[in-house]
Amino acid sequence: MREKPLGILVPKKIQKIIYPFEKIRYEKPYLLATLSRRVSVILSYYFLNKIEIKPNTITIFSILVSFLCFYFFSNSNYLMGSLIACSWVLLDNIDGELARLQNSISSLGSTLERINSDIFYILLFPSLSIGLYKDNLIEFNLMILTIFSLTLFNILRPFLTNFPYTKKINNNSFFWLVIACQFKRSFNYRKKSKTGSLIFYCWRNIFTQCGINEIILLTFSLISIYTRNYLPEVLLFFTIGYLLINLSILLALVFHNILKK
């Protein structure tokens, strides 16, 4: 019998519903997602579910939180913006937990959750760039590049869901196996390749939601209060990172079209 994850303080039969094995398996390497589950599971089961809060209500509220994050970052309140970004991750957990508890998973809920995620991506770092530009800490060109990079990443990231070349994979194909590991739903491939799995969880933790990018923002926002503001360097790092990811996806799409012919 599989024991509950440490810190998930609900009955085991509830844990299997609210935080099932599939979620545990996928989220285990994601730092903020794993930590926030220790809070969100308690809130969902002992409080929000008891007062019959619906998951779509949480998702809509989460979308409003994304805009609140944009407001604080773009007005140079970096600490509050970072705290709200971390709270967004908590809400992102809760809507799914309530949907599983209430057996109310629906196409509308899935659509709202996808919109919520898209909005958060589009607003988080671009709003930071606006705030830094208004404070004369970055150039106009970097602000525009950040907005472009995150918008393009949001458009391209659905291509990172499923690996399209399943027939080309075998246990002896190191290159294809590592490539296959970089797709969201490629857990079975990641079990076969430690190298591919390490690469996947490194870049996913840094550049996608619920990993460490919100924690990085919070850490450097705190540092900026007491010493030098390093957020411009943080923004530059993320902007370049997203540009490289975008370039990789675009090259992969070209490669895909060549292989299809």
**Residue 112 in contact with residue 57, Cβ under 8 Å?**
no
- Report the b/e string of 127-138 with b at 16+ CB within 10 A: bbbbbbbeeebb
pLDDT in tens, 48-77: 999 999 999 999 999 999 999 999 999 999
Q: pTM, whole model, 2 decimals? A: 0.92
> Quick one: pLDDT band at residue 2, thresholds 50, 70, 90?
low
Q: What are phi and psi of 100, to 5 degrees?
A: -75, -40
**Tokens standing for residue 143:** 């602000």
Q: Can you tell me the distance from the alpha carbon of 141 to that of 123, in angstroms, rounded to the nearest whole number?
A: 17
CA–CA distance, 185 with 54 (Å, rounded to integer): 27
pLDDT of residue 1: 41
Percentage of the chain with pLDDT > 90? 74
63 Cβ neighbours under 8 A, 6+ residues apart: 112, 115, 116, 119
Residue 119 tokens, joined: 């909005």
Percent of the chain with pLDDT over 70: 95
Kindly tell me if the per-residue pLDDT of 165 is higher than 90. Answer: no
Backbone angles phi, psi at 212, to 5 degrees: -125, 0
User: Which residue reads 């899935």 in tokens?
Assistant: 110
Token pair, residue 83, equals 């705290």
**pLDDT for the residue 148:** 97
- Spatial CB neighbours of 70, under 8 Å, sequence gap ≥ 6: 123, 124, 127
CA distance 92 to 117: 8
Tokens for 15, please give them.
């844990």
How high is the pLDDT of residue 5?
87
The pLDDT of residue 25: 86
In sequence order, which residues have a C-beta less than 8 Å from that of residue 83 and are 6 or more positions away? 218
- The answer to whether the CB of 171 falls within 8 A of the CB of 192 is yes
Which residue ranges form the domains of the chain, and what is each CATH number? 12-260 (1.20.120)
Q: Is the pLDDT of residue 152 over 60?
A: yes
